[in-house]
Amino acid sequence: MKVLQQLYSFVKPYKAQFYFLVFLTIAMAILAPTRPYFIQIAIDDYVAMGDAAGLVRIIYILVGLMILQALVQWAHTYYSGWIGQVIIKDIRVRLYKHLLKLRLKFFDNTPIGRLVTRNVSDIETLADVFSEGLAAIIGDLLQIITILGVMFYIDWKLTLVSLCTLPLLIISTYVFKEKIKVTFNDVRNAVSNLNSFLQEHITGMNIVQIFNREQREFEKFKDINREHRTAHIRSVLYYSIYFPVAEIIQAIGIGLVVWYGAVGVLGLELQIGILISFIMYLQLFFRPIRQIADRFNTLQMGVVSSSRIFKLLASTDNIANEGNYKPEKIKGNIRLENVWFAYVDEEYVLKNITFEVKAGQTIALVGATGAGKSSIINLISRFYEINQGQIFIDGTEIREYELGTLRKHIGVVLQDVFLFSNTIYHNITLGNPSITREQVLEAAENVGARKFIERLPGGLDYNVMERGATLSVGQRQLISFVRAMVYNPEILILDEATSSVDSETEELIQESTEKMMKGRTSIVIAHRLSTIQKADKILVLHKGEIVESGTHDSLLELGGYYTQLHQMQLKMMAI
């Protein structure tokens, strides 16, 4: 009931249509027993009496009722499906909007395939709650109650005889419902596992092929797919048993009615029309009972999916955007004071980090992998929240900035460049209509990417395919530079921005970045120490702490950790 109440909150914008659907459900329940009733009248009052004119009138009424019933059935099917689709559209939009606000930490700990399942398969299941679940169950129950009322009104003794087999049907229906519920849960879990496996392995197909793991991963996929198949076949088995059993029970019920009714007709205690109508009533009565177990499981599947979706929507692992400071321009002064940060509990990757970057200065972060360099820039952009300490930009704590405004003033170029399956122009502007093609070309010119872009078929309209598969690593990196610079940020962050490119492209990027960093506060992370020799200050990190700081020359004079890194790189270059 709690889940259904949460679902009802999404129905509120469509109250008129929902109440109309309720009206149609009631109308269907009322119309269901009318046909057998009028057939009974036609047989007993007109056929038996030889009243042809009266029989014609009844036929007209029956035809009208059938047309009305068909129209109500059509409207009910359409509106139940319509409400289901508009509601899952609203839920999917709300869920995706919620995902956009979650911290990166949430995505670090949650398989992408599971999120895809929540946003696609689980939400699709909700549509069935309205088209085949809740509305259908209410309609079935109303129809059962209406038919029972009419049957008792016509002949209570015959009704009791016809209901002799009902306990058997109820027991078999309950057993079926419980069995199929477990099976459907297994199916949902298998679907989630399939989505997770496929998403991860298709994305990482190059690793699978590089390490010759195709056969091994194929065997894993077959195992997961086998579990999915087994769960489905088990549900098919239960259906194949239940419906024939239900048919047999219904046939026994009809047989009892025919036997008892025939005795009554022969004894002139019962009219033949009543007997015929009762056979029709029983068919109408047993059909929704047979279906109601299936509908309950549809409803339960929807409830399970809804629970998962609402649990995700209730996740509070989002970045609090409570700041209201929205400056049009910033100077770019950055100061970190006693910053501590951990991705997991108190396993700190940054410990008591304190440093300052003046506006227009360039600071470089160096250190071994895992020293905490990328964590610092993630905190400045508020991709993650610090555990202790404070970060200031222009003297204002970053949490006081409106989140969109803060990130607008920071341009970030990451080592792992992600490009969407779209045009170069879209990947640079990310759909921002305020950025013109002229601005994009100007930024590309400054970065040194314009020549290679214009050589591509279609230029800015060239489709780079998924993850930029049709471009080289260097070309993707240059596009990420254009993407960062087109917004003209006051703070520029380069995270290993030249570590994956060839020497020629690195030289091109170095020339353009020197121009871009002029007048901007820049934070540079690089394994190649040759790229940061001109930095105003170099911070050397080791196991989350700043162990050395100074210029390139002053750090070499210290003969410490930085000197060791420098000598190691000289040896590698010599090799």
Q: What is the mean pLDDT of the chain?
A: 82
Main-chain phi, psi angles of 16, to 5 degrees? -60, -50
Q: Is 70 exceeded by the pLDDT of residue 502?
A: no
> What whole-number distance in Å separates Cα of residue 209 and Cα of residue 379?
35
Beta carbons of 549 and 353 less than 8 angstroms apart? no
pLDDT of residue 498: 57
Q: Is 70 exceeded by the pLDDT of residue 506?
A: no
Overall pTM surpassing 0.75 (yes/no): no
> Quick one: average pLDDT of 550-571?
82
Residues 6+ apart with CB under 8 A from 222: none
pLDDT of residue 337: 93
Q: Of 565, 537, 160, nearest to 364 (Cα)?
A: 537
Greater model confidence, 4 or 50: 50
Q: Is 90 exceeded by the pLDDT of residue 228?
A: no
User: How many residues does this entry show for the chain?
Assistant: 575
Q: Is 90 exceeded by the pLDDT of residue 81?
A: no
Confidence of residue 531 (pLDDT cuts 50, 70, 90): low
pLDDT of residue 336: 93
What are 174's two structure tokens?
A: 């309950």
H helix count then E strand count, the chain: 22, 10
Q: Is 60 exceeded by the pLDDT of residue 511?
A: yes
E strand or H helix at 363: strand 362-366
Q: Is 60 exceeded by the pLDDT of residue 485?
A: yes
Q: What percent of the chain has pLDDT over 70?
A: 93
> What whole-number distance in Å separates Cα of residue 74 and Cα of residue 72?
5
> Quick one: average pLDDT of 289-293?
75
Give first-to-last CA distance, the chain, whole Å.
70
pLDDT of residue 178: 79
Beta carbons of 183 and 231 less than 8 angstroms apart? yes
Confidence of residue 389 (pLDDT cuts 50, 70, 90): very high
Report pLDDT digits (tens) over 330-349: 898 999 999 999 888 778 89
For the ranges 110-114, 183-187, 422-426, the maximum mean pLDDT occurs at 422-426
Domains defined for the chain, CATH in brackets: 2-313 (1.20.1560.10), 330-409+525-575 (3.40.50.300)
Q: Is 60 exceeded by the pLDDT of residue 499?
A: no
Q: Is 80 exceeded by the pLDDT of residue 227?
A: yes
Report pLDDT digits (tens) over 231-257: 888 888 888 888 888 888 888 888 888
Greater model confidence, 114 or 30: 30
Q: What is the CA radius of gyration of the chain?
A: 35
Task: Please report, for residues 178, 234, 453, the alpha-carbon distance to residue 240 in angstroms, rounded to integers and kept in the order given.
Answer: 15, 10, 61
Confidence of residue 509 (pLDDT cuts 50, 70, 90): low
The SS3 call for residue 70 is helix
pLDDT of residue 419: 82
What are 439's two structure tokens?
A: 């601005």
Confidence of residue 218 (pLDDT cuts 50, 70, 90): confident
Confidence of residue 572 (pLDDT cuts 50, 70, 90): low
Helix axes of 134-154 and 272-313: crossing angle, nearest 10 degrees: 160
What are 539's two structure tokens?
A: 């911070």
pLDDT of residue 338: 93
Q: Is 70 exceeded by the pLDDT of residue 530?
A: no
Q: Of 84, 90, 102, 98, nearest to 21 (Cα)?
A: 84
Torsion of CA 177, 178, 183, 184, to 10 degrees: 60
pLDDT of residue 355: 92
Report pLDDT digits (tens) over 435-471: 888 888 888 887 777 888 888 888 888 888 777 777 8
Q: Give CB contacts under 8 A, 24+ apart, made by 44-53.
A: 44/271, 44/272, 44/273, 44/274, 45/273, 47/273, 48/271, 48/272, 48/273
Report pLDDT digits (tens) over 150-200: 888 888 888 888 888 888 888 888 888 778 778 877 887 787 788 778 877
pLDDT of residue 418: 79
Beta carbons of 459 and 375 less than 8 angstroms apart? no
Beta carbons of 538 and 362 less than 8 angstroms apart? no
Q: Is 90 exceeded by the pLDDT of residue 114?
A: no
Q: Is 60 exceeded by the pLDDT of residue 575?
A: no
Confidence of residue 70 (pLDDT cuts 50, 70, 90): very high
> What whole-number distance in Å separates Cα of residue 497 and Cα of residue 490?
18
The SS3 call for residue 391 is strand
